């Protein structure tokens, strides 16, 4: 009798749910019909419906997204490919135009002779002044094999340059750099997970082993994830065939799956360190988390993002697609590392995060304690240095970008990637260039001092503390040259990276970036200590 009552209650609940859906869909349809019939102006159906769809999807999570037929972003995410000229562009405020930032090596833009710093004047004779980067990017992309005319102004030259470019399918490299960090230690930087990435990682690993690599640094920092299958196949390189890496649970039976390593491994014993940070998410967390759960690698860095949910692609009428969250995933220890609750938001609209006190305890294969609910916690925590304000503002400025353009125009060659440094004279020239460019930066101490002054005045303390306040203000008055000299190490790393990329492309830039990287240095230290490495992976 109790069973019948339960079944009846479930059926009634389902009927009420379906009835509610139909009632609201009919109401929505009628509202649009009335608007279309009676509203004083004509409505653009595509625009209005897209707004409505996006408002609906905003109620679930940020990963459930509608892609209209003409939107190629989904293909870029899934395949890591698009058809275009193969160059990163950036918006230059002073020029009020997009400029070439970084042509990919061997791409149509590179073969056409385009350089970083070239200011885009027009595309197919359409002046792009004032256009944002998204609009310019859409204009540059198109069907592979089609051509367009691009006019650019190169700094330092009097006449514009016009080139005709044939669009090609551009594969975004997700293994932008690999090589020996030192004798016997391989380093591989992986930035995403799309079709074919596991093959690239396998080939890179084999090549490094041939060069003498006996241990590995796998850098997954700022890797936002991608294909779950590719993540499992990369894990296959380091774990025995048939090892369960991850399983998913959702509302429908098709969402419940188990994923096992299906390829023959390359090396199941070589010591591995995996570098992670707050930008390591999704498939990158599956890879790092499964290697941690299997006691196969030492995880170094800061806690990862905490995306423990999986999306699948559903076809829609008229060529559209819906990327929809269908399940949660669980790594070998049984934990789900989802950190955010998108169904119950904070008062400011942000997603609630799970406090550490409510997480659950799990264990790795060897018995080490790990927890769910908040990303992957590293075995060894290394926090990045806090950057001074001037470094943050300068790194993203047009002034630094323009200096690098100027440097390349006055230097035919530079030292190899990983060895390049500015001389003292060159750094002085850089400071002069930045000053002449009128660069200003938002000094946080000025903001705090101003706020302190306002509060002290309001509360009646300023009159008695005016002398001390003025003295403090004088001490905290910034000097651009002194601030740039004080933060030279941090600033120069950004300048060197941009300059090296212009000579040696992305490969050289990535090699330059790891010079002096304290997380990489810690990984090298751990891999050089066999006993210490084993201790970190023991209970």
* SS (HEC) of 12-60: HHHHHHHHHHHHHHHHHHHHHHHHHHHCCCCCCHHHHHHHHHHHHHCCC
Establish whether 293 is a catalytic residue. yes
* Cα torsion angle, 487, 488, 490, 491, sign: positive
pTM: 0.88
Report the distance separating Cα 374 and Cα 303, nearest Å. Answer: 8
Q: What share of the chain is helix, strand, coil (3-state, %, to 5)?
A: 40, 20, 35
Instruction: Kindly provide the residue ranges of all beta strands, DSSP E only, lying in 403-466, ordered along the sequence.
Output: none
Q: Which long-range contacts link 512-518 to residues 24+ away (Cβ below 8 Å)?
A: 512/417, 512/418, 512/420, 514/181, 514/187, 514/219, 514/418, 515/418, 516/489, 518/382, 518/384, 518/385
pLDDT of 8 reads: 52
Establish whether 479 is a catalytic residue. no
How many CB atoms within 10 Å of residue 257?
15
Helical packing angle, 228-235 and 197-210, nearest 10°: 20
Establish whether 267 is a catalytic residue. no
Pick the CATH number of 177-312+325-384 from 3.90.226.10, 3.30.479.30, 3.50.50.60, 3.40.50.800: 3.90.226.10
Domain with CATH 2.30.42.10 in the chain: 81-169
Domain with CATH 3.90.226.10 in the chain: 177-312+325-384
Report the distance separating Cα 499 and Cα 427, nearest Å. Answer: 13
Which residue in 327, 233, 335 sits closest to 289, CA to CA? 335
pLDDT of 259 reads: 97
pLDDT of 462 reads: 77
- Active-site residue among 307, 323, 377, 511? 307
Q: What angle do CA 217, 199, 175 make, to 5 degrees?
A: 50
pLDDT of 455 reads: 82
- Active-site residue among 87, 282, 333, 397? 282
pLDDT of 358 reads: 83
pLDDT of 452 reads: 74
- Active-site residue among 61, 118, 293, 497? 293
In the chain (539 residues long), the average pLDDT of successive 10-residue segments reads 54 73 90 90 88 88 87 72 93 97 96 97 97 94 94 95 96 93 97 94 98 98 95 97 96 94 95 97 97 98 96 89 94 94 80 84 96 94 90 94 96 96 97 94 71 79 76 69 93 96 96 95 97 94
Instruction: Kindly provide the residue ranges of all beta strands, DSSP E only, lying in 195-262, ordered along the sequence.
Output: 215-219, 244-250, 257-260
Which CATH number applies to 81-169? 2.30.42.10
Alpha helices in 332-423 (DSSP H): 389-395, 398-410
Number of H helices, E strands in the chain: 17, 23
* Cα torsion angle, 174, 176, 178, 182, sign: negative
Report the distance separating Cα 498 and Cα 391, nearest Å. Answer: 14
Contacts of 127 (CB under 8 A, 6+ apart): 121
How many angstroms separate the Cα of 260 from the Cα of each of 35, 168, 245, 445? 53, 36, 6, 53
């Amino acid at each position: 009798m109790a069973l019948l009552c339960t079944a009846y209650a479930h059926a009634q609940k389902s009927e009420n749910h379906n009835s509610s859906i139909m009632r609201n869909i009919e109401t929505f349809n009628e509202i649009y019909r009335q608007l279309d019939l009676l509203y004083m102006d004509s409505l653009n159906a595509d625009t209005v419906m897209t707004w409505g769809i996006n408002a609906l999807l905003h109620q679930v999570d940020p990963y459930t997204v509608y892609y209209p037929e003409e939107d190629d972003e989904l293909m870029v995410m899934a395949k890591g490919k698009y058809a275009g000229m193969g160059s990163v562009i950036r918006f230059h405020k002073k020029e009020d135009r997009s400029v070439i930032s970084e042509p990919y090596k061997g791409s149509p833009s590179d073969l056409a002779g385009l350089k970083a710093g070239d200011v885009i004047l027009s595309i197919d004779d359409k002046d792009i002044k004032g256009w944002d980067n998204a609009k310019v990017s859409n204009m540059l992309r198109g069907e592979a094999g089609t051509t367009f005319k691009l006019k650019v102004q190169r700094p330092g030259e009097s006449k514009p340059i016009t080139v005709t470019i044939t669009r090609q399918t551009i594969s975004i490299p997700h293994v932008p750099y690999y090589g020996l960090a030192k004798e016997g230690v391989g380093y591989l930087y992986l930035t995403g997970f799309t079709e074919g990435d596991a093959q690239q990682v396998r080939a890179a690993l084999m090549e490094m082993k041939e060069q003498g690599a006996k241990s590995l640094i796998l850098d997954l920092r700022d890797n936002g994830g991608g294909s779950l299958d590719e993540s499992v196949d990369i894990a296959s390189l380091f774990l025995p065939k048939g090892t369960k890496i991850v399983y998913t649970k959702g509302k429908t039976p098709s969402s419940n799956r188990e994923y096992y390593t299906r390829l023959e491994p390359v090396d199941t014993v070589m010591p591995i360190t995996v570098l992670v940070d707050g930008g390591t998410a999704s498939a990158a967390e599956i890879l790092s988390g499964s290697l941690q759960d299997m006691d196969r690698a030492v995880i170094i860095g800061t806690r990862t993002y905490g995306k423990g949910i999986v999306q699948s692609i559903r076809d829609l009428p008229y060529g559209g697609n819906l990327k929809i969250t269908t399940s949660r995933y669980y790594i070998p220890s049984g934990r789900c590392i989802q950190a955010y609750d998108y169904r119950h938001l904070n008062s400011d609209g942000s997603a609630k995060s799970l406090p550490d006190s409510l997480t659950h305890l799990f264990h790795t294969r060897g018995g080490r304690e790990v927890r769910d609910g908040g990303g992957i916690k590293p075995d060894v925590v290394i926090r990045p240095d806090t950057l001074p304000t001037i470094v943050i503002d300068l790194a993203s400025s047009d002034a630094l970008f323009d200096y690098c353009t100027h440097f390349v125009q006055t230097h035919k060659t530079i030292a190899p990637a990983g060895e390049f440094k500015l001389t003292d004279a060159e750094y002085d020239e850089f400071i002069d260039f930045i000053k002449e460019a009128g660069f200003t930066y938002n000094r946080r101490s000025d903001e705090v001092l101003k706020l302190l002054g306002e509060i002290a005045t309001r509360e009646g303390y300023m009159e008695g503390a005016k002398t001390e306040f003025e003295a403090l203000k004088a001490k905290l008055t910034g000097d651009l040259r002194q601030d740039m000299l004080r933060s030279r190490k941090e600033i120069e790393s950004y300048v060197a990276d941009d300059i090296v990329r212009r000579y040696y492309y992305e490969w050289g830039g990535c090699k330059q970036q790891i010079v002096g990287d304290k997380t990489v240095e810690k990984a090298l230290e751990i891999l050089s200590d066999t006993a210490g490495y084993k201790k970190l992976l023991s209970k």
